[in-house]
Amino acid sequence: MKKLGVRSVIAVPYIWLLMFFLVPFLIVFKISFSEMQYSIPPYTDLVSWADEVLTINLNLGTYAYLINDDLYIRAYMSSVRIAFFATVCALLVGYPIAYAIARADTATRNALLMLVMLPSWTSFLIRIYAWVGILKNNGLINNGLMGIGIIDEPIAMLNTEFAVYLGIVYAYLPFMVLPIYTNLVKLDNSLLEASADLGCSPFKTFMRVTLPLSKAGIIAGCMLVFIPSVGEFVIPEMLGGAETLMIGKVLWQEFFNNRDWPVASAVAIVMLLLLLVPITFFHRYQARELES
Amino acid sequence: MQTGKLSNWSKWFLSLGFFFLYAPIVILVIFSFNKSELVTVWAGFSFKWYGELFRDPQMLGAAWISLKIAVLAASAAVVLGTMASIVMVRMGAFKGKTAFTSMITAPLVMPEVITGLSLLLLFVAMGQTLGWPGQRGMLTIWIAHVTFCTAFVAVVISSRLQELDESIEEAAQDLGAPPWKVFFLVTLPIIAPALISGWLLAFTLSLDDLVIASFVSGPGATTLPMQVFSSVRMGMSPQINALATIIIGLASVAVLIAWWFARREGMRSVKI
């Protein structure tokens, strides 16, 4: 009886995840090997059975197409590049904030932490939309600068790569601050005192003690920003221009505009392979945190 | 880490950081009260965009659908997330535990376009072979939201479970309580604040999702973010600013409630 109870506690979430998380990926993988056709659903079957002949059609054409059309390779490369530099910027902005919060006394700390998290509880879409009004040609920054006569012509900021960087750093900053803070706040103070007693300057103590000890937090924060940014759709769609190529947007267009499900699936599979290393990295950290 | 008075450097970083985080939001709220059609030129104070918003049947319908999905998805995610946390924190090793932990944490970082596409393809394949779900709509969005919200809820609840002193549960067990009774009378009341913040997190995540819902939705089920996105694509509208102000107001209240619960919890543990 007891065994049954334990088993069902494991089984319910396990089966749900298998069904709605793992199986869907296998289906994406399967469809990436089929061909597009005008029917419902708009792809061919891999296995067919007719006249007592079992035919398996594995169409590698979609992957060949992804390699041959340089749009996809450029989109993958620029997604990784944009996500990488945006992550670096988020780290440079986020680390000092996390550090400052960890140094505050307990009451202030909780309030500051709440203030960092609050924006991410409001709509992501609306926070990105807010930047459209600030950055556009007749937006607040350009109107302000032209009003006081610093510039005569508006600076193009919306629909540029700069706007995409800004959007990613803005939207994902809390996910950088939180894990670094969690790590810094656990830091043993006696280690810092020991370093100071042994004659290290505050800067040297930071570089040789604080920074290495907060490595786990930095890795978690960077992964939480980098991985979703690679496949980001809303930010390049709303803030980026035609020349800002990102793979999430390409996948969206293949699916919704071209209705080419096999190509969309192949794009997703390659993106997943690309993200496999960072995702495993993140898992190891997360599994340690969850099970310790 | 040493705590105490903040240095000047820290104060600078914090002020700049918070300016960056809050300036766009404050601007959005200010311009929701603008009389002019133009979103970035101030022409006097007015509530007229709120009136327009509440007379827009499409917006109201979408908001109602989103709220229903969010409440149902958050509730299911809390149940599944609690079970998943107990499996991860309280149960020892079992076959397939690594796979289980991976499946719980993967949705935290998975790009939304991949999750959305894969779930849609699953629903289409199921519809072809099983005949269910016949039509995509609220039910399929609910399933998708429960799946990714469970991951976030599990992280919140398992960190609380880890802090929980196991000896209290053991004491109840030694006094003869069966495991289900230990869970409902001892564990659950103690982790209740984490359940509430997990529920609120799942609720806002569901309410906020555009990409996954766009993939798995069908005709007749347009959620609020989908409606906002299609109107934002046409250009900026002060009506969206008014909607944003309402969402920001509600989110602030929710966060304050969650914070108050956390603080009360903190004070209680100090007393013990």
Q: How far is B267 from chain A (nearest CA, A)?
A: 11
Q: How far apart are CA A15 and CA A12, in angstroms?
A: 5
**pTM score above 0.80:** yes
Torsion of CA B178, B183, B184, B190, to 10 degrees: 140
pLDDT score, position A291: 62
| Predicted pLDDT at A242 | 82
pLDDT score recorded for residue A1? 46
Is A40 part of any domain?
Answer: no
A43 within a domain of the structure (yes/no): no
Is A26 a member of any domain? no
Interface confidence, given as ipTM, is 0.87
> What total of structural domains would you count in chain A?
1
- Domain region containing B93: 58-271
* Residues of chain B scoring pLDDT < 70: 1-6, 39-40, 262, 265-272
CB spacing of B83 vs A9 below 8 angstroms: yes
H or E segment to which residue A79 belongs? helix A70-103
Q: B231 CB near a chain A CB, below 8 Å?
A: no
Residue A47: inside a domain: no
B255's tokens: 């966060």
Average pLDDT, chain A: 87
Please report the pLDDT score of residue B272 as a whole number: 38
In a domain, B7, yes or no: no
- Going by pLDDT thresholds of 50, 70 and 90, the confidence category of residue A290 is low
Count the domains in chain B.
1
Task: Give the model confidence (pLDDT) of A191-213 as tens digits.
Answer: 888 888 888 888 888 888 888 88
**Do A125 and B225 contact (CB within 8 A), yes or no?**
yes
Q: What is the CA radius of gyration of chain B?
A: 23
CATH number of the domain bearing residue A240: 1.10.3720.10
Asked, for residue B147, whether it belongs to a domain, the answer is yes
Q: Which of B19, B114, B124, B265 is the best mutation test for A, with the most CBs of A within 10 A?
A: B114
Q: Looking at the predicted structure, is the pLDDT value of residue A23 above 60?
A: yes
> What mean pLDDT do residues A89-110 have?
90
Would B257 be classed as within a structural domain? Answer: yes
Q: Which domain holds residue A193?
A: 68-291
Tell me the per-residue pLDDT of B13-34, one tens digit each, with 9 for 90 and over: 899 999 999 999 999 888 888 8
Domain presence at residue B146: yes
Question: How close does chain A come to B135, measured CA to CA in Å?
Answer: 13
Residue B217 contacts A, CB cutoff 8 Å: no
Whole-number Å distance between alpha carbons of B98 and B84? 13
CA distances from B24 to A119, A141, B175 (A): 10, 12, 57
Residue A56 lies in a domain: no
- pLDDT exceeds 70 at position A68: yes
- Partner-chain contact A291 B2, CB within 8 Å: no
Is residue A121's pLDDT more than 90?
Answer: no
For the stretch A233-255, pLDDT in tens is: 999 999 998 888 999 999 999 99
Q: Which long-range contacts (CB under 8 A, 24 or more apart) does B131-138 make?
A: B135/B218, B135/B219, B136/B216, B136/B217, B136/B218, B136/B221, B137/B217, B137/B218, B137/B219, B137/B220, B137/B221, B138/B65, B138/B68, B138/B69, B138/B221
